[in-house]
A and B are shown apart, each in its own frame.
Chain A
């Protein structure tokens, strides 16, 4: 069945500045502080995590839908359907909150996902592969996935296809500079 719906995933990287803040917007963690508009807030951590203000989140839950992997005290939440999603898609490979968000969009049959701020730069490189897997899975299912220019997602380290002349030149140059081991 054709379901012409689009969702915007608004994460916290720098490409968030390109976000038009229209349509369905989902954000995560402290994104509620910086988003101009959002319909869902995704949380996969639980108290007493220090990087989130749980009191503020509990207050926020009165007005905004909070989708959480764990039950949160004094907070109204929609529980993330982890088991259903795992069963439906046959995997539990979630390396980052954004993976959960993409999986949830697939679960709800959205046919377009627009990603802003999902930059997965250097410090997130252990988490990048999982997000790329879900992007690939979505694309394989025919879902359009648009990633904001500037994100490292679906780009190689040197931003060129591996093995090409240009890739090799950059790699050797960086090796000489001590940048690539």
Chain B
């Protein structure tokens, strides 16, 4: 069977025709019992939030931000394509100043994605219904879950009742998603881990910035491993009197390589 050759596109975005051809090819491959069809090519996506690890963001891939991350990217003179805001206008407690500058957001040309329609604000509505159809449990515990879900929605198709990866995003890199504060983020952390779990199950890779509490257990080690040892500081953080070395940072880095089961051979 000749390999599928999607139209060449420097942005790697798959055209509708190429996606349809690809789905037909996936079905044919499945019917013929091919176990290891080649893999879809893809590209990285940076998901940028407001935690301290945002400082590690190299802005070397398409970047999506949330809330007021646009202030930071503008200060850094970096680019951001999409901005996710799932709140209506928020006002500062003391000054009463509005938090979001809708006019500025529109002027800068960010694609604003919201969950509400707001009068006078130009935005694209988050496709909740379509996403919930593809991923039936709509478990959205904070704005980042909406961003991951949107990236997964854009990168998958449904083929014979199964969701398969079709590109373009095969690696989600999260910066500033640290969930370090107790209470509020403790409730929200699981939602992000849930959606990254789905990504991983689909073969889409992910990584989180150094210092994030995502994928960390309460005790810092897998549950049950130190139940009787009473180790309070398994990573030696309390004994550390200097900044972490690069080796320590690499050792702490949590990352899953993408391993999507289908690939289009590009020629």
Contact = CB atoms under 8 A, between A and B. Distances in A.
A129 B227 contact: no
B72 to A, nearest CB: 21
A158 B187 CA distance: 10
A137 B188 CA distance: 17
A133 B139 CA distance: 12
Interface pairs A-B: 9 shortest CB-CB? A140-B201, A136-B197, A44-B224, A163-B86, A129-B190, A137-B197, A133-B193, A140-B198, A136-B194
Interface residues of A, number: 47
A53 B175 CA distance: 45
A112 to B, nearest CB: 14
Nearest to B156: A140
Interface residues on B, range: 35 or more
Contacts of A46: 227-228
Given A45-B224, A92-B222, A96-B223, A137 B200 contact: yes
17 contacts: A44-B223, A93-B215, A94-B217, A96-B223, A97-B223, A99-B223, A125-B186, A125-B187, A129-B190, A130-B217, A137-B198, A139-B135, A139-B137, A140-B199, A162-B141, A162-B142, A162-B191
A138 B201 contact: yes
Contacts, number: 142
Contacts of A70: 224
Given A44-B224, A93-B215, A133-B196, 12 more contacts: A45-B228, A94-B224, A133-B197, A136-B194, A137-B198, A138-B201, A140-B197, A140-B202, A156-B188, A157-B141, A162-B86, A162-B188
Contacts of B87: 163, 168
Contacts of A97: 223-224
A161 interface: yes
Given A94-B222, A126-B218, A154 B137 contact: yes
B125 interface: no
Interface of B: 86-88, 115-116, 128, 135, 137-143, 145-146, 162-163, 183-184, 186-191, 193-202, 215-218, 222-225, 227-228, 256-257
B31 to A, nearest CB: 14
A62 interface: no
B116 A136 contact: no
Nearest to B141: A156
Nearest to B183: A181
B216 to A, nearest CB: 8
Interface in A124-172: 125-142, 154-157, 161-165, 168
Given A44-B223, A127-B223, A133 B142 contact: no
B215 to A, nearest CB: 5
Listed residue (A99, A161, A163) with the most chain B CB atoms within 10 angstroms of its CB:
A163
A66 to B, nearest CB: 14
A135 B197 contact: yes
B220 to A, nearest CB: 11
A95 B217 contact: yes
Nearest to B142: A162
B262 to A, nearest CB: 13
A125 B193 CA distance: 14
Given A129-B193, A135-B194, A154-B194, A142 B224 contact: no
Listed residue (B87, B184, B217, B227) with the most chain A CB atoms within 10 angstroms of its CB:
B217
Nearest to A171: B184
B86 A90 contact: no
A157 B141 CA distance: 8
Contacts of A139: 135, 137, 197-198, 201
